[in-house]
Structure 1
């Protein structure tokens, strides 16, 4: 159902700490204009856990306005299954195209609990679901066994594969064929994942470098892997910023430098300071200064 480059967008705040509607509209629009294939809101990068439920719906609606007919997914990440189900219902009522569902970030469920919780959210929202499998960040592994068990429910349509092990993608394909659309969720494994059959990229640094991200994806889909690899090698130091405890601050600083946005975050996060900030600035400024010339993408399928 979903494929292509689908940004996990950041949430923009005013100086007073409220949602910055105008800046989100501008930033989301840049990604759609660059050729992205949809948007995902209120994820880890979107500081979803820091947003009130009504704010998540506000961000969803801003993204829907920017995306037009393209899909906009709501991330469901909650401590309890009941809370997750409630958010799924609210997202459905607000017209979300689908849900990206994360197991409880607070209680580390076993396989039986993980499956039961995912099924409950699917029933509550009654929308297409992208299962977010990220054992590194969330310490719960949505395994191929669980994916196989869930395959009887047609609402589960896609996997955001973020295990940090490219062998997992092959295992999913070998076990389940094309039952799920597999999208990579690790920026600095994107080329590798697309090489072995992933049909999409739930991207982070795309919010700062949308055209380059789309170029890598479309060139790979067109079989022009050598050209894609050249861009990816340039991009790789920046993509590494996604794989960090400070990914939100890293990427918002990249946005500030690359697209003249702001880097405001919601407490307890604080903007980067000191040596860490200097290093991120160095990486991003170097990428901007050495930006590759991109091929004409207008003839390549989205």
Structure 2
């Protein structure tokens, strides 16, 4: 069977910063390649975990150019989020010009719109390029709940709507979407600690956060689920869950970046208004890592 466009693990890559606060393009390049070597399918920059809302337009475009060059043909699928529809359209067009192979389109930042306004915003971005689009539902972060019937409306209207990243934290939404989406629209889990449940309900892709520190374990968990090896998947999932749950709280960016630093795969630096973890927060993450220990070894047979 032909692999789907968005099947597999796609890291929501963090944005690394130098000591002076500028984007660390050298580390970004190497980090993306490291995760791809572990078996990831592509990279999703400029999303919530990528601190996209703290980057300038020019910084975003520079990040995309670095990743497109670094990955040499592997998909770069940036988050397209903005305060204004005009800037979101500009960013989508700039991503296309930079060589990105898809877009993950977010609702408008800050302004909580009704469906007609949200539909107009999303439609403008979808129409801005011929690139395949993943629609992103994250009512926890963006206060706009993108309902299944609304997603279906856009999927039926636009042939380049090819995926949905579902991050409502309600696995019933995955089930609901799987029941109504046309065959050309793929379903991706967008919450780290709902991967197994989401795939059991019909998802075929995972846009993940802790993959920034644990790419091999993330890919193995996904592959076990895809192969229907649910008992082995549950063994790995139980080990992974205390870390995956760091993706589901307010300071998820700081937490995941701190795990990267502790595991030797990045820096804990964030851009204000976020502040790095200190004291008890650091100690708790170190405790979680210590209790978890090394991942169980499961690749004893071909998947």
Task: Give TM class, smaller chain.
Answer: over 0.9
**Matching of residue 156 in structure 1 with residue 161 in structure 2:** yes
CA distance in 1, matches of 2:40, 2:171: 23
| Residue 236 (structure 1) aligned with residue 241 (structure 2) | yes
The alignment's C-alpha RMSD in Å is: 1.4
Deviates more, 1:62-71 or 1:206-215: 62-71
Q: Any conservation in 1 of the 2:132–2:160 contact (CA below 8 Å)? A: yes
Q: Secondary structure at the match of 1:121?
A: helix
Displaced runs of 4 or more, over 6 A: none
Q: Distance in 1 between matches of 2:46 and 2:115?
A: 25
Preserved contact between residue 91 and residue 125 of structure 1 (Cα < 8 Å): no
- CA deviation string 1:74-98 (max 9, x = no partner): 1111111111111111111111111
Cross-structure match for 1:77: 81
Corresponding residue for 1:115? 119
Match of 2:251 among 238, 246, 258: 246
* 2:224 maps to 1:219: yes
Match of 1:22 among 13, 26, 35: 26
Q: State the 1:264 CA deviation.
A: 0.8
The C-alpha deviation readout for 1:209-245, integer Å capped at 9, x for no partner, is 0000000111111121111110010000000000011
CA contact (8 A) 1:74 1:91 kept: yes
> What does 1:168-247 correspond to in 2, within 5 Å?
168-247=173-252
Cα–Cα, structure 1 residues 255 and 266, in superposed 2: closer, same or farther, change >3 Å? same
How far apart, CA to CA, are the structure 1 residues paired with 2:135 and 2:202? 17
1:178 deviates by: 2.7
5+ residue gaps, structure 2: none
- Choose from 11, 16, 23 the match for 1:12: 16
How many residues of Structure 1 are paired with residues of Structure 2 in the alignment? 298
Instruction: Give the aligned partner of residue 2 of structure 1.
Output: 6
Residue 276 (structure 1) aligns with: 281
Residues 99, 129 of structure 1: 8 Å contact kept:
yes
Deviations 1:9-66 (A, max 9, x none): 0011111111111211221121101000000011110111111111112211222233
- Normalised by the size of structure 1, how large is the TM-score? 0.95
- Residue segments in structure 1 that go unaligned for 5+ positions in a row: none
> CA–CA distance in 2 between the matches of 1:61 and 1:294?
37
Rounded to whole Å, the distance in 2 between the matches of 1:117 and 1:198 is: 26
The normalised TM-score by structure 2 is 0.95
